[in-house]
A and B are shown apart, each in its own frame.
Chain A
């Protein structure tokens, strides 16, 4: 039971972190290496808000909002890079560095704990487990469903899907594709900030908190193809692999195995786990 909960907890955290990347990479086809920096901003912003007496949930939402706004402002500047994918990787990576250094200048490099919500245990089927982590599993499910609903049932989601399916035709039909891109990027950034804020109570905050998640998140997004359902499947598969391997060997080996397994899966199914085999 504990293993199952551990897997679900790890999967839900990875899911939440990867959602923002999925939105930006899946819809816009942009590789956003600034993701870890944006996560850190969300985490520290919500920390700051809660220090000033704002309730935890509201603080997290404010943190996410701050990052979304930053994303909306940044996207037009990044636009000229879209035709050069390698340079997009580099520039956004540099951006991540700039962001984390700014955080260090503001908050210092020493880990800062986010007290409060992280404590507390609940007992399920005889096993004691962190209440917060359990709540996170719920949050991940809700977020995933909400995003699916947004994409499937709203006009904004329709426009985003139209741009993803055929950008030229969207333009010919009267859709302001620049605005769709900026909004999508802002959403992705906001999700990055939210995920940073959500994982903040789990461990003391430090400026590079997002970097450790970057690689698993990217691998999972590549495996997911362009579907949120695919993302859910991918996180469960990879988290299960990692947890089981870590149980029997060590976390280092688990990390290596994770990368190798993910790469092999990608070779076999370049379109994503749900879509199908290599053409």
Chain B
């Protein structure tokens, strides 16, 4: 446990701890009450910034109204920390007990609101990014109006005077700084864990995550609610410290400030938002007093400039500049702070159960139709896929090849006809989600490389190898257990030497190889490959061909869509020709490739 905590601190934990303590102490020396108060509040704003960074920077949920949760926490503490007397007057009455009660109430309300908002925003087939943004913004308007209208909450003057221990400013400061550090540490452990990988993967490519089998809507809901609870917690502590709350705390202006801290500081970096919050808060207090409206103007301009020109934010940009100057031996594309992960072959990973006998049917497709609106693409496809074979789907554009693969990898698409899988248990394809199909033993490689730009090779394989099981928020697996085939692919392509390289910097051929490895990482029974040689050089094609033959030899059934006939002749057992939404010819490759029907379909040549 201690090891994990220490590793969360980075490479040199002793040095980091000493430096942090030194900074915290140094700031107390010689600073008056005002500055200490500023710094204390800044610590709480740092916690708030972390909550938004986890939600937006790491998971891609743009919450335009995160201030609402902070405000709910503060109002909760305020409600229990004040007493309403006869005639409606409100007097402060703080005590530890009432503070805790208020904190709990705030957390409950914030959690409930977040759950409702999350269910509205994240459920449904396609998560439109505009949805959560608009809903959370609406929250600020609603929250502001509610707070403004309720007498028990002090209406427009709000509530004040309920702070706890107002005369112990140094003690408060140390406590709040410690709180910030604890939260920062916890957040760091989270983002560097396997769960953190999942968060980033959802941010980069949610659809692909779903095809890897992960319940992304649930994960987003969990992250959103967790982030809201953290924000509410910060708000509650803020209430206990400052003893003041009023409706503008819930308003969009404050919510926008939080966004600016995170955007300018550096989204997805944790340290950036904290530094952003602290620095902008301290600067803002000085400037806001002298030029009140100019400060907001500067902030707004900063937001526009950073988002347009430097989307990563200041901290990561500065960090990469420094690391480039200092450490010239660092390989390009490798990300900082990555401890080595190992790829390990595992025999146990696999769909389990007896392997099918070669020659038995693995997929039976009968009279399948699929339309997109008025356009009928599949008009009656009949096909049987046999165990252990390499079957190649060919046909002119628009024949329906990719559509057929699409149906096979997602049983929830609308189609008529029957598709039965035997892997080896008999299952009807209709209604099976991509996640369930992955667990049943179906792997898919998409037409164009469709991966997670922000992750490394190792991290991608880590996610692919989990079969959609949710990772724990603190475990960071060092050993990635994948099937021998995937390991072969990674070694043959050279990816095994590039485990810590960012996917976005890989060449096209390597991305295709990684896609292939991810598709077979779980030792699927059936692999669906859409144009595995697209964009590859001749040598790369030969390598892929050899890999596919090995896969089939090991018992995997391979169905691929291909245009390169030379490639197909070299590796496929059977060929199925699709034309105009129907299967025209199926049979051994040599026979079909030379048949006059195929010539006619492809060349319009009659013989």
- The answer to whether A and B touch in the complex, with CB atoms under 8 Å apart, is yes
Q: Measured between C-beta atoms, what is the minimum distance from B413 to chain A in Å?
A: 11
Q: List 28 A-B contacts (CB under 8 A).
A: A81-B308, A84-B311, A86-B60, A86-B62, A90-B263, A91-B303, A91-B304, A91-B307, A94-B302, A94-B303, A96-B300, A97-B299, A98-B300, A98-B304, A101-B294, A101-B297, A101-B300, A105-B293, A211-B141, A211-B252, A215-B138, A215-B141, A222-B134, A252-B149, A256-B142, A263-B135, A270-B124, A270-B126
Name which residue of chain A comes closest to B263, CB basis: A90
When chains A and B are docked, how far (Å) is the Cα of A251 from the Cα of B145? 9
When chains A and B are docked, how far (Å) is the Cα of A218 from the Cα of B138? 10
Contacts of B299 in A (CB 8 A): 97
Contacts of B141 in A (CB 8 A): 211-212, 215, 255
Q: Tally B residues with Cβ within 8 Å of A.
A: 41
Main secondary structure of the interface of B (DSSP, over half): helix
Residue of A78, A80, A104, A222 near B293 (CB, 8 A) is A104
When chains A and B are docked, how far (Å) is the Cα of A95 from the Cα of B300? 6
Contacts of A270 in B (CB 8 A): 124, 126, 128
Given contacts A81-B307, A101-B294, contact A94 B134 (CB under 8 A): no
A-facing mask of B252-265, CB < 8 A → 1, else 0? 11001001100100
Contacts of B145 in A (CB 8 A): 251-252, 255
Q: Measured between C-beta atoms, what is the minimum distance from B309 to chain A in Å?
A: 9
Residue B133 at the chain A interface, CB threshold 8 Å: yes
Name which residue of chain B comes closest to A259, CB basis: B138
Residue B375 at the chain A interface, CB threshold 8 Å: no
Residue B96 at the chain A interface, CB threshold 8 Å: no
Residue B358 at the chain A interface, CB threshold 8 Å: no
Determine whether the beta carbon of B303 is less than 8 Å from that of A97.
Answer: yes
Contacts of B300 in A (CB 8 A): 94-98, 101
Q: Measured between C-beta atoms, what is the minimum distance from A264 to chain B in Å?
A: 8
Determine whether the beta carbon of B301 is less than 8 Å from that of A98.
Answer: yes
Name which residue of chain A comes closest to B252, CB basis: A211
Q: Which of the four size classes fits the interface of chain A? A: 35 or more
When chains A and B are docked, how far (Å) is the Cα of A84 from the Cα of B312? 13
Main secondary structure of the interface of A (DSSP, over half): helix
When chains A and B are docked, how far (Å) is the Cα of A84 from the Cα of B125? 20
Contacts of B263 in A (CB 8 A): 90
When chains A and B are docked, how far (Å) is the Cα of A214 from the Cα of B133? 12
Besides A89-B133, A259-B135, 10 other A-B contacts (C-beta < 8 A): A85-B129, A90-B62, A94-B256, A101-B300, A105-B297, A109-B293, A215-B134, A218-B130, A266-B131, A267-B124
Contacts of B125 in A (CB 8 A): 278
Contacts of B62 in A (CB 8 A): 86, 89-90
A-facing mask of B99-119, CB < 8 A → 1, else 0? 000000000000000000000
When chains A and B are docked, how far (Å) is the Cα of A101 from the Cα of B134? 22
Residue B429 at the chain A interface, CB threshold 8 Å: no
When chains A and B are docked, how far (Å) is the Cα of A211 from the Cα of B256? 13
Name which residue of chain B comes closest to A104, CB basis: B293
Given contacts A252-B146, A263-B135, contact A101 B293 (CB under 8 A): yes
Name which residue of chain B comes closest to A215, CB basis: B138
Residue of A87, A93, A215, A252 near B256 (CB, 8 A) is A93
Contacts of A102 in B (CB 8 A): 297
Q: Measured between C-beta atoms, what is the minimum distance from A169 to chain B in Å?
A: 17
When chains A and B are docked, how far (Å) is the Cα of A215 from the Cα of B304? 21
Q: Which residues of B from 297 to 352 have beta carbons under 8 Å from A?
A: 297, 299-304, 307-308, 311
Contacts of B138 in A (CB 8 A): 215, 259
Q: Measured between C-beta atoms, what is the minimum distance from A175 to chain B in Å?
A: 25
Name which residue of chain B comes closest to A98, CB basis: B300
Residue of A31, A80, A90, A218 with most partner-chain B CB within 10 A: A90
